Amino acid sequence: MKIKDRLVEFTKKKRGLLATNFYNLETLHGVLRAAADLNEPLILQLTQSSIDYMGLETAVNLGRTGLKQFGVEGYLHLDHGGSVELVQKCLDAGFDSVMIDGSELPFDENIKITKEVVKRAKKYGAHVEGELGYVAKLGQDHGGGFTQPHEAKTFVEATGVDALAVAIGTAHGFYKKEPKLDLPLLQQIAAITPSTLVLHGSSGVPSKQVQAAISKGICKVNLATEIKNIFMSTLQQELQQSQEIDLRKVFPKATMKITELVKMKLIMIKNENYA
Ligand code: 13P
Ligand code: ZN
Ligand code: NA
């Protein structure tokens, strides 16, 4: 099934589709083991910096062969694409989906660049995510504004994007104090916006709020920081007590911790028990 059909189906069912970032073989296998054990689909995301770190071909091949190896239904997605050039490279490399993040641009320029990406993606049958409103970057305080429902509608209609990342109170990374998502705003956006809605910055958001957001129209749920954090904190602990030089013996516990975390998230976003 294509990513678009999956997202449309899950939106109708008021359940989420988890989108996890990966950074290397271990983080990839950690998330794939979780999806395989639970027989759930997921989206594998790569940012520009992960692509730079692994190399585009390697990253794509790791993702694809990993999905096959673990028998997981999954999709490759460019997370926070910053330029048409990067998007084009990812389309050529066979991504199922690309994000063009024009959220820091003026409205008209965001429309223009997103429209260009939609035009290019069409030739590849690829799915496109745009962003309107501003989800703060890692380490920043929330600077910009929340997504306005009428702008969202105009944006989606003018660009033809399949999915829209909305700013409703989340931020990338962990939070200094517990976030409070603007659910009435989300509901207004969902009521008039004909695209899949995406929640960025879900690390650190209490499950109840993520579930409430899914029940109000969010489908794609992006998770990155919690994956990095559980991996690195487990690894740091391991290394403190060990002189091991066989790196293949050092990583498995940290990888397993990712699997546990992602399993919990995969169950949570199904939203089966949401009252
Ligand atoms: P977190 O790092 O807060 O989970 O955000 C992930 C994200 O939005 C990736 O696009
Ligand atoms: Zn994001
Ligand atoms: Na976050």
Instruction: Report the residue among 170, 202, 221 best suited for mutation to probe ligand 1: largest number of ligand atoms under 8 A from its CB.
Output: 202
* pLDDT at residue 18 tops 70: yes
Residue 60: inside a domain: yes
Number of domains in the chain: 1
Q: Provide the pLDDT for residue 243.
A: 92
Residue numbers in the known binding site for dihydroxyacetone phosphate are 173, 201-203, 222-225
Query: Measured between alpha carbons, how far is residue 82 from residues 16, 21, 100, 101 in Å?
Result: 25, 16, 6, 6
The dihedral region occupied by 94, where left means phi > 0, alpha psi between -120 and 50, and beta the remainder, is left
Is residue 265 in contact with ligand 1, taking CB distance under 6 Å? Answer: no
CB-CB neighbours of 175 under 10 Å: 14
**Band of pLDDT at residue 141, cut at 50, 70 and 90:** low
* pLDDT at residue 144 tops 70: no
Q: What is the largest CA-CA distance in the chain?
A: 58
Mean pLDDT (whole number) for 208-233: 98
pLDDT digits (tens, 9 = 90+) for 85-100: 999 999 999 999 999 9
Index of the ligand 1 atom closest to the CA of residue 199: 8
* pLDDT at residue 42 tops 90: yes
The interface predicted TM-score (ipTM) is: 0.99
Structure tokens at 258: 């990712």
CB-CB neighbours of 160 under 10 Å: 16
Centre of ligand 2 to C-alpha 70, Å, is 26
Is residue 229 in contact with ligand 1, taking CB distance under 6 Å? Answer: no
Half-sphere exposure of 204 (CA within 13 A, CB side): 19
Centre of ligand 2 to C-alpha 247, Å, is 31
CB-CB neighbours of 151 under 10 Å: 17
Residue 84: inside a domain: yes
User: Using CB atoms within 10 A of its CB, is residue 234 exposed (0-12), middle (13-18) or buried (19+)?
Assistant: middle
CATH of the domain at 70: 3.20.20.70
Mean pLDDT (whole number) for 33-51: 98
pTM comes to: 0.97
| Domain region containing 11 | 3-270
Is residue 101 in contact with ligand 1, taking CB distance under 6 Å? Answer: no
pLDDT digits (tens, 9 = 90+) for 190-212: 999 999 999 999 999 999 999 99
Is residue 202 in contact with ligand 1, taking CB distance under 6 Å? Answer: yes
Cβ atoms of 110 and 155 closer than 8 Å: yes
Q: Provide the pLDDT for residue 275.
A: 59
Q: Provide the pLDDT for residue 1.
A: 95
Q: Are strands 127-132 and 74-81 parallel, antiparallel or unpaired?
A: unpaired
Query: Measured between alpha carbons, how far is residue 175 from residues 140, 160, 186, 208 in Å?
Result: 10, 33, 20, 16
Average pLDDT for the chain: 96
Q: Are strands 163-166 and 127-132 parallel, antiparallel or unpaired?
A: parallel
251 by DSSP, 3-state: which? coil
Alpha helices in 160-202 (DSSP H): 183-192
Residue 275: inside a domain: no
| Separation between Cα atoms, residue 207 and residue 203, nearest integer Å | 10
pLDDT digits (tens, 9 = 90+) for 155-167: 999 999 999 999 9
Residue 167: inside a domain: yes
Structure tokens at 47: 């940012």
Q: Which residues are catalytic?
A: 79
